[in-house]
Amino acid sequence: MTAKIIDGNALSATLRGQLAERAAALSAKGVTPCLAVILVGEDPASAVYVRNKVAGCEKAGIRSLKFVYAADAKPEEVFAKIAELNADASVHGILVQLPLPKHFDSDAVLEAIDADKDVDGFHAENVGALAQGNPRFIPCTPYGVMKMLESVGTALKGAEAVIVGRSNIVGKPMALLLLAQGCTVTVCHSQTRDLNFHTRRADILVAAVGRPKMITGDMIKPGATVIDVGINRLPDGKLCGDVDFDSAKDVAGAITPVPGGVGPMTITMLLTNTLEAAERRLQGEKK
Ligand code: NDP
């Protein structure tokens, strides 16, 4: 069997075209959707992510503001900027690029963002809303994964979904979204006793670990849909996922590549959340 490739670039292009139309409709009503991005420090991967997010905004007709701080910036400076952006009615979304330098309390920073502008969906209020099955902003990466599953018509009701990784930004919200759609969800992590046992019975397998090629073809149920969230840089500079694509593609029914899979979808869903924030503001909808 050779798996169907779930092309994140192609799906993103389609969705971003629709987003550009929504942004134009908002602009025609006098509202220019606007995302503010805060970057602290010189982590090269974070700088690339921020650049891609800003470029994605521009192409979709979303205004972007970028604020860059040195790695030794005082947390108060960043809190002051967040307060200013919270109060600015022309800003609809605020994103602080993670990870922050060690002297920052990341949770406190995320909580400082107005929950109505929390387009990453990391504020406790939005995490709670998602857990209650009433999401307001869905974290972008798992949101993108759900769109990818939808695009290939993966059956969700009653499916065995196994997620490897339990982070707040990927694994946990992924589990909640799949659960809400009727999957039977198992979440694996570094203390899981027999990882293969779990992955081999997954109809839907999501890898979000950060270990190059750790999921090999023999760990996959024939015909499964495999979603590779991992982004790892190999010694030769090339990117690879958490899934060993070459062995996995012969077993899986559908699979996402790295690069060109979940990565572009994450940014697409960030743009989606920003537009939704702007549309809600226009409708005067409040929590
Ligand atoms: P974290 O480091 O926060 O979480 C990794 C998870 O993997 C943890 O829950 C950890 O378990 C688990 N884990 C580690 N080792 C093993 C193991 N041997 N077996 C099973 N589970 C294990 O990472 P993130 O969730 O932030 O990111 C995961 C990957 O996804 C990274 O490669 C990251 O770069 C990528 N990523 C990609 C995005 C995209 O847009 N495509 C967006 C966000 C992330 P424990 O909790 O027990 O420590």
**Mind spelling out the 3-state secondary structure of 136-164?**
CCCCHHHHHHHHHHHHCCCCCCCCEEEEE
Ligand 1 site, residue 195, Cβ cutoff 6 A: yes
Question: Taking phi first (over 0 means left), then psi (-120 to 50 degrees means alpha), and beta for anything else, what does residue 124 get?
Answer: alpha
* pLDDT averaged per 10 residues in sequence order, the chain, 287 residues: 94 97 95 97 93 96 97 98 98 97 98 98 98 97 98 98 98 98 98 98 98 98 98 94 98 98 98 97 72
Given this chain, do its domains 30-114 and 140-263 carry the same CATH topology?
yes
Question: Strand 93-96 to strand 160-164: parallel, antiparallel, or no bridges (unpaired)?
Answer: unpaired
| Residue 114 CA, distance from chain mean position | 19
Ligand 1 site, residue 164, Cβ cutoff 6 A: yes
**pLDDT computed for residue 87 by the predictor:** 98
Contact status, residue 124 vs residue 111, Cβ threshold 8 Å? yes
| Of 255, 272, 287, the residue nearest 23 (C-alpha) | 272
Ligand 1 site, residue 171, Cβ cutoff 6 A: yes
Residue nearest to atom 4 of ligand 1 (CA): 167
Report helix, strand and coil shares of the chain as percent, to nearest 5. 45, 15, 40
Sequence-distant (6+) residues with CB within 8 A of 42 are 70, 71
Testing ligand 1's pocket by substitution, the residue of 170, 195, 267 carrying the most ligand atoms inside 8 A of its CB is 170
**pLDDT computed for residue 227 by the predictor:** 98
**pLDDT computed for residue 284 by the predictor:** 87
**pLDDT computed for residue 285 by the predictor:** 53
Question: Strand 225-228 to strand 239-240: parallel, antiparallel, or no bridges (unpaired)?
Answer: unpaired
CATH fold of the domain at 140-263: Rossmann fold (3.40.50)
**pLDDT computed for residue 201 by the predictor:** 98
Q: Please, what is the end-to-end C-alpha distance for the chain in angstroms? A: 48
**pLDDT computed for residue 286 by the predictor:** 42
Burial of 167 (0-12, 13-18, 19+ CB in 10 A): middle
Domain ranges of the chain: 30-114, 140-263
**pLDDT computed for residue 287 by the predictor:** 45
DSSP secondary-structure letter at 120? Answer: T
Return d(Cα 270, Cα 13) in angstroms, integer: 14
67: three-class secondary structure by DSSP = strand
List the structure tokens of 84.
């200013």
Q: How many residues in total does the chain contain?
A: 287
CATH fold of the domain at 30-114: Rossmann fold (3.40.50)
